[in-house]
Amino acid sequence: DAGVTQSPTHLIKTRGQQVTLRCSPKSGHDTVSWYQQALGQGPQFIFQYYEEEERQRGNFPDRFSGHQFPNYSSELNVNALLLGDSALYLCASSLGTTWGTGWTEAFFGQGTRLTVV
């Protein structure tokens, strides 16, 4: 059973460019969350997709956008890249739940290391 897979593993972009990162969730999972982890920091929540809609969003500008496809895979797009966008981008997949049914565990991929020069 494949876990969460992310591509590419490493990426170098120039300031002002746009980038697309991809995530395939663990088999059976329908929810994808994206996190940004700057060097020496903990992951910061960007947004979450469930049933092809953005369900929650963290404190990130509109330059960060995403999409979820019918097969539950997801893309993270960042426009007008800044040097400060350099980070490890982590994708986490989980199974969405309904009210009151408790927690479902999130599984993380190995991340995409984005360097903006």
Partner 1 sequence: AQKVTQAQTEISVVEKEDVTLDCVYETRDTTYYLFWYKQPPSGELVFLIRRNSFDEQNEISGRYSWNFQKSTSSFNFTITASQVVDSAVYFCALSEANYGGATNKLIFGTGTLLAVQP
The residues that touch partner 1, with contacts defined as CB under 8 A, are 31, 33, 35, 40-45, 48, 50-51, 55-56, 58, 88, 90, 92, 94-111, 113
Q: Given the complex with partner 1, which of 51 and 80 has the nearer CB atom?
A: 51
Annotate the chain with DSSP letters as a single string: ----EEE-SEEEE-TT--EEEEEEPPTT--EEEEEEE-TTS--EEEEEEETTEEEEE-S--TTEEEEE-TTS-EEEEE-S--GGG-EEEEEEEE----TTS-----EE---EEEEE-
Q: Given the complex with partner 1, which of 67 and 113 has the nearer CB atom?
A: 113
Least separation in angstroms between residue 95's CB and partner 1 is 7
